[in-house]
Structure 1
Amino acid sequence: MILADKIIRLRKRNGWSQEELAAKMNVSRQAVSKWEAAQTTPDLEKILQLGNLFGVTTDYLLKDEMEDEEFTDETDIPVKRITLSQADHFLKWRKSASVKIAVATFLCVIAVIPLLLLGAVSEVALSISENVAGGIGLVSLFVFVAVAVAIFLHCGFKNAPYDFIDKEPFETEYGVTGMVKERQKEYRPVYVRSNMIATGICILSPVPLLVGAFTENEFLIVIMLAITLLLAGIGAGIFIIAGVRWASMQKLLKEGEYTPQEIRKSYIKETIATAYWLSATAIYLVWSFLTNAWETTWIVWPVAGVLFAGVMAICRLFTDKKD
């Protein structure tokens, strides 16, 4: 018995019409009709969803020689279902979280600015010593980072009820897909515009530093560097606000980077990215504390940022080749 006949049998056994099965599978009635007419075959994700929905094994669905249903163990953990209200709450929370995450990232980027400025001021003003300037600058750096970490932890705690969306298979109830697609359609122009603006800001961010490089005034160079960091932080924040909101919709729709295949790739990339930035942080702190040259060791971050793009490109090539 082929898959098409099995879908018909199981659908009728449950007393569902093609429209009802389509709603439960988040597909069109025409898609179900084509499955049952053997005109098309569901992809692997949909076959797994059919197995969970009907309570049968994927072996039964995929193997033509198996005529009798092979039911799954009743003790299996059911796939979580996201209701319309849950999806709405998730999208609203991620919209709020996008701003908080952007602020935390901005604080991390600009955290070194007070240290740089105070160090420059101590060189031109006699009213503040280099040691005092360095001490105040370090305190402000750790305060900025501490506030950023607190925001990240808060967002992680608030997002805990929805962690399963990233880690476990889930289904959406009738109406969720349509609602999310409608919001995605409305948000798309804002998403595109935000990415264009953020890209422009990030490309232009080194300009002040390049301008400062043509002068021998060290204080002016530091000012230009601070402006560069501010612009970079603003650009990163805009990217994050737009990206987090867009990603929340893609997660519910299982599109883009959130298909099962791409989620596996993302896990690899996130692991590498985490190890990379932890290593960069360790290098920065060890170098800074050993040499006490805080006015110089900041160079670790722009260099790490440039190299990070290359590391991610290599990682992407590796995961694509593996697939």
Structure 2
Amino acid sequence: MTFGEKLFQLRKEKGLSQEALAEKINTTRQAISKWETGQGYPETEKLLMIGNIFGVSMDYLLKDSVEPSNDKDAGYYVSKEMAEGYLLSAHKVSKYMALGFFLIALSFIPYFIFKQDPAIYIIPTILFATFGIGMFVSASFLEEDQYKVLKTESLLFDEKYLKGLTVRYEDIKKRYVVINLVGFCLFAAGLLAFGIERKFITSEFLVPYYPVCIGLIAIGIYIVMRTSTLLDAYKLLAKNEVYTNSFGFKFRRKVRKKVDDF
């Protein structure tokens, strides 16, 4: 079976028209038609994208085999457009997640300001907490399904793009490590103020400053969550080999395989 015959069969089995397939791999209907009639072959990037779409290996597409292979150990090809889309999505998700933690932390401030009157502090506390939870829910909706595969497969990239992405990751890592440290220091300063006052000071002179301490904790949490989430997104792409060799990735992959087999 030739490549063109395999492509035609796979396209029909998936119920895709030539126009629909062409749109998915960013080419023209005429190109798909020529490939299917044996008048040419797609470039490597397009072959990898075709393999992703139909869930078959490069060996199956290029060799004279009849049965398709679903072995994805070689990796899932990620185009530049998909990688940049994922990073843009990660920016939005990290913003909403960090804001959610920030608002939940702030929800404790009204208690320390109006703790003598529950009727006053209960409403702003509920509002802050509700908006914070709402941010979490929004973040879950912002995470697009098309990018979830990036967290479950070994990834392949265009070599030139990967080099540029790695440089960007190292640059961002240097800047974000400093910002992350600032966030952690703010968080620790706010937390230590509570600990020191309760452990060593009995005059409660820090009590009026509790809202400020909580504000420091909230800002610290926002900074740490925002930078950490973004760094993880860049690391997932630029250092995918490290990510895929982690225990968490291997464990999730084994669980998914057992579920699929079941």
Name the TM-score, length of structure 2 as normaliser.
0.61
Query: Which AA in structure 2 matches 1:54?
Result: D
Three-state SS of the structure 1 residue aligned to 2:143 is: helix
Instruction: Give the Cα separation in 2 of the matches to 1:229 and 1:168.
Output: 40
Asked if 1 retains the 8 angstrom alpha-carbon contact of 2:154 and 2:244, the reply is: no
Change (3 A) 1:255 1:215: same
Deviation per residue, 1:41-77 (Å, 9 max, x gap): xxxxxxxxxx944349xxxxxxxxxxxx996952738
- Secondary structure (helix, strand or coil) at the match of 1:206 reads helix
Quick one: which of 93, 106, 111 aligns to 1:115?
111
Residue 256 of structure 1 and its aligned partner are, at CA, apart by 7.7
Contact 2:186 2:216 in 1 (8 A): yes
Equivalent residue number for residue 85 of structure 2: 89
Aligned to 2:156, what secondary structure does the other structure show? strand
Question: In structure 1, what is the Cα distance between the partners aligned to 2:137 and 2:221?
Answer: 19
Quote how far apart the aligned CAs of 1:254 are.
Answer: 4.2
For structure 1, which runs of at least 5 residues remain unmatched after alignment?
1-19, 25-50, 57-68, 123-132, 268-323
Residues 248-276 of structure 1, C-alpha deviations (whole Å, 9 max, x = no match)? 11111344862243333786xxxxxxxxx
Q: CA separation of 1:94/1:160 partners in 2, compared to 1, >3 Å: closer, same or farther? A: same
> Structure 2: any 5+ residue segments left out of the alignment?
1-43, 49-55, 253-262
In 2 relative to 1, CA 167–144 (structure 1 residues): closer, same or farther, beyond 3 Å? Answer: farther
Counterpart Cα distance in 2 of 1:90 and 1:242: 16
Equivalence for 2:98: 102
Tell me the CA shift for residue 244 of structure 1.
1.3
After superposition, the CA RMSD in angstroms is 3.5
Question: Is the Cα–Cα contact under 8 Å of residues 166 and 239 in structure 2 kept in the other structure?
Answer: no
**Residue 159 in structure 1 maps to residue 143 in structure 2:** yes
Instruction: State whether structure 2 residue 212 is matched by structure 1 residue 216.
Output: no
In 1, Cα distance between equivalents of 2:241 and 2:217: 26
Distance 1:71 1:249, change over 3 A: farther
> What are the equivalent positions in structure 2 for 1:116-131 lying under 5 Å apart?
116-119=112-115, 122=116
Q: Deviations over 1:156-189 (max 9, x none)?
A: 1111231222234443345441232121122122
What TM-score does the superposition give when structure 1 sets the normalisation length? 0.51
Take 2:161 and 2:100, find their aligned partners in 1: how far apart are those partners? 31
CA contact (8 A) 1:215 1:221 kept: no
The Cα offsets for residues 127-146 of structure 1, whole Å up to 9 and x where unpaired, read as xxxxxx31332322222122
Q: 1:54 to 1:231 in 2, by over 3 A?
A: same
Q: Which residue of 2 aligns with 1:62?
A: none
Between the aligned residues of both structures, percent identity stands at: 15
